[in-house]
Amino acid sequence: MKPIRKLAFVVNDDKPGALDLARTLMAVAKPSGVKLKLTTRLTLARGFLRGADACCVIGGDGTLLGVAHEAAREQVPIIGVNRGSLGFLTTFSADEARAHFGDVLKGAYKIAQRSMLDCSTGSGKRGLALNDVLIKNEVNSRLVRLEVVADGELVTDYYCDGLIFSTPTGSTAYNLSAGGPLVHPSAEVVAMTPICPHTLSNRTIIFRQNVRLRVFNRSDDSKLLVALDGQRNLQVGIGSPVEISISKLKLSLVQRSDYSHFAVVRTKLKWNGGVADGQKSV
């Protein structure tokens, strides 16, 4: 890959050691003549990333999610360095970043393209989501009746706590907690998972890449909350459907050349399939 010559840092200084780590990585970059800039503002000003070859995000997955929509708009790859807990998206640990940062700046990395969801709620209200779009009653304790239409065809209606529309990247997040499937991040699909539906069956539906989804509020006495990546909320116009599709924009994530998605899942989720010690797959 091409060397990184212009690098922006976004640092969550609420995370212990994040600023010190940023200074360490900047010290690695400076002797090579890399142009640097840094912010601790987690809501980026429009244009902050413009012209950068990459953006190094130091924090947790939530920090990266807050940067993702701006990075996708500017087509700037993200180097995620984990100072949070799980770190599915921030794929470099602090030790890995220290050990390999110089090589990454020289071009020793690969790029993973991650799909995003485009969500519109009427009256010009729209946004992007890297993980998921959550639709629920704005009052947490109330059920809501939601009707789902795919490409003009009725799918079904749900009486539930809400619906999660997940990208493959977000399949390890809220979708997984709600009983949804793991989806490989290179798959071009949308997973729809109901939250606590009032039914004896609860199944995720996987929709194809070009699907156009519309969700209607069929509860007369309820208003909807639409949350993008658990961070940004969109208001829904009265009578307006929530429209969801896979965005034309993609997020580029910088990964080590030997990165393995399933190794990350095994490590982060303590997932081993129940294979006994000493046994190997063939």
In contact, 217 and 144? CB cutoff 8 Å: yes
Can you state the angle between helices 18-29 and 94-106, rounded to 10 degrees?
20
**What is the rounded CA–CA span in Å between residue 204 and residue 7?**
40
- Count of all residues that appear for the chain in the document: 282
Which is catalytic among the residues 14, 20, 53, 61? 61
| Assigned token pair, 16 | 């212990």
Alpha carbons 107 and 65: distance in angstroms, whole number: 24
Of 194, 78, 77, 79, nearest to 144 (Cα)?
Answer: 194
Determine whether 61 is an active site residue: yes
Catalytic residues: 61
